[in-house]
Amino acid sequence: MDHSTLPSEDITEVKPDISLTKMIYKRFDIDSYLPLYDFQVPVGLVNQMMELILGMQQELTTAWTQMAFDDRRGRRPRG
């Protein structure tokens, strides 16, 4: 999306909720879910999955922001 074409007063930048991401990290303990299995997940795979999840979170946030912007733009009085 090209922000330069939008009026600056209508742009609301939404940043990802880092505290929520940290809470998810803290709450997920693999040992409590799979105590009977003896395996290790490669660090690279974990990093890729977290990047994917964070990317999806950013895309969703962007979509919500765009929908809110479009909705607000449609409700403006004309004239």
In this predicted structure, what is the pLDDT of residue 10?
47
Residue 74, both tokens: 């449609």
Q: Are 16 and 57 in contact (CB under 8 A)?
A: yes
- Residue, of 24 and 65, whose pLDDT is higher: 65
In this predicted structure, what is the pLDDT of residue 14?
55
Q: Are 14 and 69 in contact (CB under 8 A)?
A: no
Give 10-34 as a DSSP string: G-------HHHHHHHHHH--HHHH-
* Cα(37)–Cα(7) distance, integer angstroms: 55
- Residue, of 77 and 63, whose pLDDT is higher: 63
Q: Name the pLDDT band for 71 (thresholds 50, 70, 90).
A: confident
In this predicted structure, what is the pLDDT of residue 54?
94
Give 45-63 as a DSSP string: HHHHHHHHHHHHHHHHHHH
Q: What is the pTM of this model?
A: 0.41
